[in-house]
Amino acid sequence: MRGLFIACLLTGLATMGVTIESGGQVTAYDEGALRVDAAPGLRIVRGVRDSVVLNLSEFRRTGLADLVASSPNARAEAEVFEKNYRPGSLYAGAGIALFGLNLGLSSMQPRPGIAGWLIPVSVGLIVYGGYRLQLAYRGLQKAVWWYNRDLKS
């Protein structure tokens, strides 16, 4: 009788286990879907719990392509992000630094001659860096979209 009881108990528990396992597919999006979080800093979070899976650094390779490698389309878009994010950040950062330098020089009397070309150079760097960053962000959003899409197929 005890054997029958244990058998029934194990069957019930096994049924519950299988149910939970298969139920994970229904909630694959809840558990695995990625999202770009913009504050503080750029990072990738996963699922409804918002667990941080990747911090996107401006100064080194981020590893986004590896994170979304299970989806070929997402990986291709992640490469676009990787290719543009660092250069974009560096150009825009250099432009902002030069702009700040120009502000500092403009308060000096007499004004140094270098200040004349600092503004156009800094604006050019900011615009070019911004353009590269936009390409990067588009790639990032598309990568996340494709990754989440392929979670369902």
Partner 1 sequence: MKLRIMLALAITALTAGSLAAQTTGHASATTRDQNGSPTLPAQSATKDSAQVYDSQALRFESRWGSADIIRGAKGEVIGTVGWFREFDLEKVLQSSPHALTEAHDFRVNNFRGSLVTAIGASLVTIGIVVAANNSNNASTPILIIAGAGGIGWGLQHLNKSYAALSRAVWWYNRDLSNH
Q: Does position 29 bind partner 1 by CB under 8 A? A: yes
- CA 107/CA 96 separation, integer angstroms: 17
- Of 60-99, binders to partner 1 (CB under 8 A) are none
Residue 77 or 82 with smaller CB distance to partner 1: 77
- Considering only 27-35, 51-59, 60-68, 85-93, which stretch makes contact with partner 1 by CB under 8 A? 27-35
Taking CB under 8 A as the criterion, the residue among 84, 89, 122, 148 binding partner 1 is 148
On whether the CB atoms of residues 34 and 44 are closer than 8 A, the answer is: yes
Helix 115-150 crosses helix 72-106 at what angle (to 10 degrees)? 160
**What binding mask, one character per residue, do residues 102-141 give for partner 1 by CB under 8 A, x or -?**
-x--xx-x-x------------------x---x--xx--x
Please give the full DSSP string across 81-146, using - where no structure is assigned: HHHHHHHHHHHHHHHHHHHHHHHHHHTSSSPPTTHHHHHHHHHHHHHHHHHHHHHHHHHHHHHHHH
How far is 119 from 117, CA to CA, in rounded Å? 6
- Give yes or no for a contact between 43 and 55, defined as CB atoms under 8 angstroms apart: yes
Nearer to partner 1, 44 or 65 (CB): 44
Residues lying near partner 1 in the complex (CB under 8 A):
1-2, 4-5, 8-9, 11-16, 18-20, 22-23, 25-26, 29-30, 33, 35-39, 48, 103, 106-107, 109, 111, 130, 134, 137-138, 141-142, 144-145, 148-149, 152-153
